[in-house]
C-alpha cells in the first residue's frame, strides 16, 4: 500500500515536528549548561521519535502498517509545525529566561499529547502498538520532567524572595 500525497505530507510533518523539537532542546542545552542533561536527553529522544516515524513510514509503504486516514488532518500537523518553528525562533532569543524555556517546552509537549497527532498510525501488530505506546510514554515523561524542573525552579525563586524580605 502506497500512501497518498496527504498521508506522505502527514508523515513528513510528524518527522519535522520531532526534528524541530530536537533542535529546540539542543539549543536550550547550549543556552542553559546547568540543565544540559535535561535538554540533551529530550533532544536525543525527539531524534529517536523521528527515526521511529521514518520506520513507520517505510512500513506504511510496504503495507505492514496502515494510516487512519479519518484521524489525521494535514492542516493540524502543519499548524503545529508552524507553532514549533515559532517557538524555535523564540528559543534563539538572546534573553530567554530559563523558566520561560521550561514553560515553552511544557506547552509544546502537552500540545502533542492533547492533539494526539501520532494516532494517525493504525497498530496492525503488537510491536507496532508497543512503538506507539513507547512514543506517547516518552512524551508524557517529557512533560513530567519539565513539570518537575518548573516546580524546582519556582520553589527556588520563592525561597530567594523570602530570604530577601525582612
pLDDT in tens, the chain (166 residues): 455 677 778 888 989 999 999 999 999 999 999 999 999 999 999 999 899 888 878 877 777 666 666 666 778 889 999 999 999 998 887 788 999 999 999 999 998 888 777 666 666 667 667 777 787 888 889 899 999 998 988 887 555 444 433 3
Q: What is the CATH number of the domain that holds 82?
A: 1.20.1260
- Boundaries of domain holding 56: 5-164
Question: CB–CB of 109/92 below 8 Å?
Answer: no
> What pLDDT, on the 0 to 100 scale, is given for residue 159?
52
**pTM for the full model?**
0.83
Q: How many domains does the chain have?
A: 1
Give φ, ψ of 107 to 5 degrees. -65, -45
Gyration radius (Cα) of the chain, Å = 18
Cell for 115?
Answer: 492533539
Amino acid at each position: 500500500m502506497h500512501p497518498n500525497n496527504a498521508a506522505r505530507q502527514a508523515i513528513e510533518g510528524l518527522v519535522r515536528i520531532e526534528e524541530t523539537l530536537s533542535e529546540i532542546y539542543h539549543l536550550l542545552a547550549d543556552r542553559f549548561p546547568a540543565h544540559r542533561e535535561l535538554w540533551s536527553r529530550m533532544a536525543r529522544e525527539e531524534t529517536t521519535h523521528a527515526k521511529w516515524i521514518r520506520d513507520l513510514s517505510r512500513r506504511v509503504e510496504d503495507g505492514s502498517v496502515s494510516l487512519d486516514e479519518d484521524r489525521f488532518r494535514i492542516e493540524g500537523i502543519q499548524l503545529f509545525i508552524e507553532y514549533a518553528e515559532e517557538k524555535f525562533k523564540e528559543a534563539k532569543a538572546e534573553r530567554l529566561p530559563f523558566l520561560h524555556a521550561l514553560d515553552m517546552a511544557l506547552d509544546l509537549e502537552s500540545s502533542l499529547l492533547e492533539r494526539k497527532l501520532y494516532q494517525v498510525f493504525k497498530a496492525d501488530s503488537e510491536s507496532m502498538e508497543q512503538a506507539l505506546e513507547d512514543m506517547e510514554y516518552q512524551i508524557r515523561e517529557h512533560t513530567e520532567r519539565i513539570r518537575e524542573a518548573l516546580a524546582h525552579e519556582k520553589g527556588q525563586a520563592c525561597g530567594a524572595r523570602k530570604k530577601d524580605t525582612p
